[in-house]
Copies of this chain bind each other. A is one copy, B any other.
């Protein structure tokens, strides 16, 4: 018999998603989320810097994968090749079994500007990390920033498509299409 159930942040996250999806984000208090898993509000805020963060726990894995893909590329690869590698490696985190959960989560985010702001900020944070990686490889500005931001843009658009009702293609496939569209656009 353990003193505390393990996986506290995960249980809080699951409870939060459930409550946000049913009652709505603003109609759910942090205290309610905590109580629904037998904890107090204070404990909630020990695990998450703020109420929004509860929906973003676990993203480090995705971010790490994204950057790992970029890093695994040869040191003299063209910026857009590094970006492509990052996208490919990130796609590994979005298998078909994850689609329903991602859909549910995204529905909550799309309904709340406060959560959208946080999501955008995370994406730009990821782009900034990729930009730094490109700079270390000698890519100058503004090319490094442009390449990195284009990478997260392609991901965002692809993810939104992957999530869409009725969509069945893998995110890999979608990313390839979106990337091709972008290249075709810029001529």
Contact = CB atoms under 8 A, between A and B. Distances in A.
The copy count of this chain in the complex is 2
A182 to B, nearest CB: 5
B80 A185 contact: yes
Q: Which of A143, A161, A186 has its CB near the most chain B CB atoms (within 10 A)?
A: A186
Interface in A138-183: 142-143, 145-147, 149-150, 153, 157, 161, 177-178, 181-183
Interface stretch (A15-23, A100-108, A114-122): A114-122
Contacts of A184: 143
A117 to B, nearest CB: 4
B143 A181 contact: yes
A84 to B, nearest CB: 11
